[in-house]
Amino acid sequence: MTKEKVFKTLSLGCLIICVLVWIPNLVFQIPSPLWLLTFVFAPFGIGFAALVKQYWLAVANILKFFSFFIFMFLGYLINYLTNGIP
């Protein structure tokens, strides 16, 4: 296997891991601290994607890196739209 294919596979693997660690919180509604692993794996995925110039993988890993803040924003937005200001 070439280096480019290895780096692309590693970047995709980091992205998949970042998606999988959110499953207990979002799907099963079980409070799990596993989502913190997105801050560990996503930067590696960004780096591997940048090495092989796969920018879609880099953007996807960046979105997963900021996923906590995105989910918090969406949660507060939905709460505001449905309940109004407390």
- Contact indicator for 13, 44 with CB cutoff of 8 Å: no
- CA atoms of 39 and 12, how far apart (whole Å): 16
- Nearest to 76, CA basis, from 1, 47, 84, 62: 84
- CA atoms of 31 and 38, how far apart (whole Å): 15
Sequential pLDDT tens for the chain (86 residues)? 788 899 999 999 999 999 999 988 888 988 888 888 999 999 999 999 999 998 999 999 999 999 999 999 998 999 999 987 66
- Contact indicator for 71, 37 with CB cutoff of 8 Å: no
Cα radius of gyration rounded to whole Å, the chain = 16
Range of the structural domain that residue 24 is part of: 3-83
